[in-house]
Chain A
Amino acid sequence: MSTPLKIKLMKLPLLTAAGIGLFVCLNSCNPQYESPPSGETQAYVPVYKSDVEKSEITVSDARSTTNAGKIYAWGNYIFQNDQNKGIHVIDNSDRLHPQKIAFLNIPFNTEFAVKGSFIYANNGNDLVVVDIHDVKHPVVVKRMEDAFPYVEQKYPPQPGYFVCPDPEKGMVIDWELQMVKSPNCKR
């Protein structure tokens, strides 16, 4: 077997893998649009930090879950995020009769962890520490501005049409899917 052939054979798996990767990407991960939208179309719209009163962390009565998110267990409590809304608090002290007891309104919250009666949660791009010693009276004890910049600033999480973000309007803290007339960006 000649040397060039050997090299070719050795490279085959790598080339195949690269080929498959390219194929997959071109075919499904980055859908191509054939024509620009006419009239209203579904598009992501940036939500700016300045649009939202982010310090409004409050407690309200237990409510039904609308967009179920991540879960966390701590002591006699179970928590479940309601995406971008806040955290459901479930009293599990009688574990055969767990009950929702409160809802912590934390706008643009998706992530959290709990230690020693304190919830560490993202409030948009901020990290807030909420004292829940008395869960019916939560107290924000610390806010760290922009400690958790997890929202992509330049484009939405999914490919497709979107409204181009305007840096002058400040930091983007969420992308909302809306019906938009002639969105000006595409990815």
Chain B
Amino acid sequence: MKKSLLYILLLAVIIGAIQCQKSSTSSTTNAGSGGSTARFAILGNYLYTVDRENLKMFNISNVADPVLKNTVHVGFEIETIYPFKDKLFIGSTSVVHIFSVDNPEEPRKLSTAISPEVIRRCDPVVAKDTVAYATLRTNSMCGGTQSVLAAYDIKDVTNPIQQATFPVSEPYGLGYADTALYVCDRYGLYVFNIQKAFAPQLVKQIPNEWYMDVIPFNNTLICQMQDGMNLFDITKRLEPTLITKIK
């Protein structure tokens, strides 16, 4: 039983993480990239939305004229959607639902993972090849121990294996560009070298501001701040240089 609980926990973490980040799959053609807490996601010719309970899919082959194709009841207190390859990871406050969209208009529910209480809400994650990174934010009110950046082996997405953790303060969204991983935190931005995927190495901390989410977009790192937006040049991936602050 212990093993199965651990398994459920790990699965929930990975999936919870994966579903929170959509910048790495800017999908096809001329869709853009979003941050990690979105309720709208574009995958190919479909716009997927999650409201409190339902997943809806709109065909946007004609971009000016979305057509509602299907509504699927997912669960309660849904918060985020993350498209990853041919799957949708839909996060709620307590559970993560995984759908296959092989057939974009007929999503098939593959599984549901239960998230334990210490893994609060949407714990954003990015997936890269066969590794996923998640920030697990604990909350002094609701228990838990140290907030961490965690690295998981996701060769088999139904069986994620935690490989490493790194203590951080109060993390939010995250994103990567090549071998640099950017982690948002209440007290600054962390930059990790992830050349060795399961041994993230902290190379820089940009302190003093509240970072909510990031989108690495070409050579620009777009940061959602608590009070606006910071933009960094990341031509040198591990050495973000502030371009400007927009408030």
In chain B between 210 and 247, which residues have their CB closer than 8 angstroms to a CB of chain A?
212-213, 215, 217-220, 222, 224-229, 231, 233, 243-244, 246-247
Question: Would A148 and B49 count as touching, CB distance under 8 A?
Answer: yes
Q: Answer whether A111 and B229 are a contact pair too, CB < 8 Å, given A24-B142, A71-B224.
A: no
* Size category of the binding interface on chain A: 35 or more
Question: Would A131 and B52 count as touching, CB distance under 8 A?
Answer: no
Question: Would A28 and B66 count as touching, CB distance under 8 A?
Answer: no
Residue among B31, B63, B215 with most chain A CB within 10 A: B63
Docked Cα-Cα span, A27 to B23, in Å, equals 36
B200 to chain A, nearest CB (A): 24
Question: Would B220 and A129 count as touching, CB distance under 8 A?
Answer: no
Does A3 interact with chain B (Cβ within 8 Å)? no
Does A38 interact with chain B (Cβ within 8 Å)? no
Residue among A114, A117, A144 with most chain B CB within 10 A: A114
Return the contact of B35 from the options A25, A70, A110 (Cβ within 8 A): A70
Does B103 interact with chain A (Cβ within 8 Å)? no
B78 to chain A, nearest CB (A): 9
In chain B between 9 and 63, which residues have their CB closer than 8 angstroms to a CB of chain A?
23, 29-35, 37-42, 47, 49, 51-52, 56, 58, 60, 63
Does A5 interact with chain B (Cβ within 8 Å)? no
In chain A between 26 and 65, which residues have their CB closer than 8 angstroms to a CB of chain B?
27-29, 64-65
Residues in A with CB closer than 8 Å to B30 are: 74-75, 115-116
Docked Cα-Cα span, A111 to B63, in Å, equals 17
For A79-105 the 0/1 string (1 means CB < 8 A from B) is 010000000101010011110100000
Question: Would B34 and A127 count as touching, CB distance under 8 A?
Answer: no
In chain B between 176 and 225, which residues have their CB closer than 8 angstroms to a CB of chain A?
212-213, 215, 217-220, 222, 224-225
A76 to chain B, nearest CB (A): 11
Q: Answer whether A131 and B142 are a contact pair too, CB < 8 Å, given A65-B227, A72-B33, A72-B34.
A: no
Docked Cα-Cα span, A98 to B246, in Å, equals 9
Q: Answer whether A68 and B224 are a contact pair too, CB < 8 Å, given A14-B1, A113-B32.
A: yes
Does A181 interact with chain B (Cβ within 8 Å)? no
Question: Would A111 and B38 count as touching, CB distance under 8 A?
Answer: yes
Residues in B with CB closer than 8 Å to A69 are: 224
B30 to chain A, nearest CB (A): 5
B4 to chain A, nearest CB (A): 10
Does B129 interact with chain A (Cβ within 8 Å)? no
24 contacts between A and B (CB under 8 A): A17-B116, A20-B143, A28-B141, A29-B142, A65-B246, A68-B226, A69-B224, A72-B34, A72-B215, A73-B33, A73-B222, A74-B32, A78-B231, A95-B218, A96-B233, A113-B32, A115-B29, A115-B30, A116-B30, A117-B63, A120-B60, A142-B66, A149-B52, A150-B39
Give me the interface of A with B, judged by CB distance under 8 Å.
10-11, 13-14, 17, 20-21, 23-25, 27-29, 64-65, 68-75, 78, 80, 88, 90, 92, 95-98, 100, 110-118, 120, 122, 127, 129, 131, 141-142, 144, 147-152
